């Protein structure tokens, strides 16, 4: 019987993603200074060691959250532009702005 196990790479990526996803609404609600790392790791269900394995400090985690938000916004904007069917570059810039 073959047991499907996630690789270490998959587990590591899942932990990192969990930390970013957990920290995102906490930072949004309480601000950077209002959220301690202990709150983040408890909410994510991971250890403090896991946090520091993936991020040097809370500032680096915050940067990862910021990058995730930027990626989401870029994807959403791309979907909006594609759905609009606009091809004129000026119209694309106007709609994108």
pLDDT in tens, 67-79: 999 999 999 999 9
pLDDT of residue 11: 93
Q: Categorize the per-residue pLDDT at 6 as very low, low, confident or very high, splitting at 50, 70 and 90.
A: confident
Is residue 34 scored above 70 in pLDDT?
Answer: yes
Q: State yes or no: pLDDT of 1 exceeds 70.
A: no
In this prediction the pTM is: 0.83
Q: Distances in Å between the alpha carbon of 49 and those of 38, 54, 90?
A: 11, 9, 49
pLDDT of residue 14: 96
Mean pLDDT of the chain: 93
**CB < 8 Å & 24+ apart, contacts of 65-74:** 65/20, 65/23, 65/24, 65/27, 68/20, 68/24, 69/24
Scanning the chain, the segments in alpha helix (DSSP H) are 8-30, 37-44, 48-54, 58-84, 89-96
Dihedrals phi, psi of 47, to nearest 5 degrees: -90, 160
CA 2 – CA 55 distance, rounded (Å): 34
């Amino acid at each position: 019987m073959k047991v499907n196990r996630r690789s270490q790479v998959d587990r590591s990526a899942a932990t990192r993603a969990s930390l970013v996803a957990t920290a995102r609404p906490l930072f949004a609600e309480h601000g950077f200074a209002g959220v301690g790392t202990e709150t983040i790791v408890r909410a994510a269900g991971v250890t403090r060691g896991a946090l520091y394995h993936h991020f040097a400090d809370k500032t680096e985690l915050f940067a990862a959250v910021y990058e995730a938000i930027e990626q989401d916004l870029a994807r959403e904007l791309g979907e909006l532009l594609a759905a609009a069917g606009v091809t004129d570059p000026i119209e694309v810039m106007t709609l994108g702005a």
